[in-house]
Amino acid sequence: MKVTTKFLSILGVFALLLLSSNAAFAKDKEGGYDPVSTVMEHIGDANEFHVWYDTHIPLPCFLYAPEHGWSIFWSSAFHHGHAVVDGYVLNHGRVNRIADPAYYANHAHTHDDHADHDHGGENHNHGSEGHGEGHGDYIHLDEIISKTVTVEETGVEKEVYYAIVDGKEYKLDKPSTIDGGVLGGGITSFYDFSITKNVATMLLAAILLIFLFRAVAKGYKKNEGKAPSGVQSFMEPFFVFIRDEVTVPMIGEHKYERFQPFIMTLFFFILFCNLLGLIPFFPGSANVTGNLAVTMVLAIFTMLVTNLNGNGHYWEHIFWMPGIPAWVKIILTPVEILGLFIKPFSLMIRLFANISAGHIIILSLIGLIFLFGENGENVGGAVAGGIVGGLFTAFMNLIELLVAFLQAFIFAILSASYIGAAVEEHHHEEGHEVAH
């Protein structure tokens, strides 16, 4: 009972915080609450770490535009989206680049200045408004507007953003993505190699993991020949679980040792990223494992480890499956080759979809507060939304906690099973069947 009251009061504070924060949600064209954009913005990556209301943790930006070269500065140089830095602006938390050559023609002098002050953003004084002070670094960004345009060739409608600087509109480019335009992205005029919110969270997870396991490893050194103690005995069941339930049964008694560190790293890296994503405030909240780029890299690692360790039997079974008629082999070989890519692809999609879905559901439930609250006009509705959404969110969080462990486990066990299939010493199947 006491816990429930405490929980509800925390929920209330949280709801009020959200209600009071105009930075936390996206507005639609009429200035109202836009639930879809809000959710998408929250699960997306960002170039600064939003803590609450107007507080942001600045993150380093490493930006590369082929026509301009590298730009390196802190995201605080954007003044929360009020400044143009090196032709870059902050649009809904993400760095965008002014693609219009007219901008660079109009602001040629500041452009040249930047050649000398590459890190200008870092030591930039917050108080120095306007570019008439001789610095030339600070270019005020009036506004970012969006227009829905129709792409001529395909007839598809698309949202295009424009930066308004000195009263003029300049088209904005999003960071390049490597989906080849299939998913609405593609190569644009610049690449974003910044330490984004997701990268910062990954680094945090990495640091936490290294500290945790350093303590655990120390425990093994200290307690050699003795019973485990402290954090060592807390983590040991995880290690033993991964070994006895994942690597040994999947890879086999004799070969599991080589792959145990990889599987452990996969499991704990995914788990920690998942769990950090469940924390609704700084330093959590980033949707790391719900980003396709992250799960793609993890899946590619699994694919590489699997195929680089594949033995002759494994490749024989892929290219020329023994023990079946030749005409079946002709059908089977392409299927097996496709399987090489489908397996890691399924890993990638499964983790991405599960974690993203969890974040979307929770954000949608929190969004009920704003929907019921009718943009702050209906406080009673907001409270009702807060209670309903809050309770469902609490429930969802419990499920997400399970999912965080489950997905890390599934990724690890499937990776182990793929590796196991690649390194397995086959007893020949035909012989096997005859023998029985």
Partner 1 sequence: MMEVLFLADFSVIRPDPGLILWTTVVFLLVWIILGRMAFRPIQNALKQREDDIQSSLDEAKRAREEMANLKAENEQLLIEAREERAKILKEAKEAKETIIEEAKDKAKEEAQKIVASAKQEIENQKMAAVTEVKNQMGKMAIEIAEKVMRKDLAADSGQKDFVNRLVDEFKLN
Binding site for partner 1 (CB under 8 A): 36-37, 40-41, 43-45, 62, 94, 156-159, 175-179, 183-185, 191-196, 198-199, 202-203, 206, 209-210, 213-214, 216-217, 220-221, 224-225, 236, 239-240, 243, 257, 260-262, 264-265, 268-269, 287, 290-294, 296-298, 301, 352, 356
What's the order of all strands across the beta sheet hosting 143-150?
88-91, 94-98, 168-173, 157-165, 143-150
In whole angstroms, the minimum distance from the beta carbon of 205 to partner 1 comes to 8
**CA atoms in the 13 A half-sphere facing the CB of 339:** 15
In whole angstroms, the minimum distance from the beta carbon of 136 to partner 1 comes to 28
Which CB, 40 or 394, lies closer to partner 1? 40
Q: Which residues is 94 bridged to in the sheet?
A: 91
In whole angstroms, the minimum distance from the beta carbon of 203 to partner 1 comes to 6
Which CB, 19 or 294, lies closer to partner 1? 294
Helix, strand, coil % over all residues of the chain, rounded to 5: 55, 15, 30
Contact 418, 306 (CB under 8 A): yes
Residue 381 one-letter amino acid: G
Contact 63, 190 (CB under 8 A): yes
Residue 249 one-letter amino acid: P
In whole angstroms, the minimum distance from the beta carbon of 296 to partner 1 comes to 6
Which CB, 51 or 240, lies closer to partner 1? 240
Which CB, 110 or 260, lies closer to partner 1? 260
Which CB, 244 or 316, lies closer to partner 1? 244
φ/ψ of 137, rounded to 5, equals -75, -40
Which are the contacts of 385, defined by CB distance < 8 A and separation ≥ 6? 15, 368, 369, 370, 371, 372, 373
Contact 382, 19 (CB under 8 A): yes
Which are the contacts of 156, defined by CB distance < 8 A and separation ≥ 6? 150
Alpha helix locations (H) across 27-73? 35-43
Which CB, 46 or 366, lies closer to partner 1? 46
Rounded distance, CA 72 to CA 76, Å? 12
**Degrees, nearest 5: CA angle 11-12-17:** 95
Which CB, 33 or 268, lies closer to partner 1? 268
User: How far, in whole angstroms, is CA 282 from its chain's centroid?
Assistant: 15
Rounded distance, CA 71 to CA 121, Å? 10
Rounded distance, CA 259 to CA 434, Å? 33
The SS3 assignment for 77 reads helix
In whole angstroms, the minimum distance from the beta carbon of 62 to partner 1 comes to 8
In whole angstroms, the minimum distance from the beta carbon of 249 to partner 1 comes to 16
In whole angstroms, the minimum distance from the beta carbon of 436 to partner 1 comes to 34
In whole angstroms, the minimum distance from the beta carbon of 339 to partner 1 comes to 22
Which CB, 175 or 310, lies closer to partner 1? 175
User: How far, in whole angstroms, is CA 163 from its chain's centroid?
Assistant: 26
Which CB, 187 or 321, lies closer to partner 1? 187
In whole angstroms, the minimum distance from the beta carbon of 419 to partner 1 comes to 14
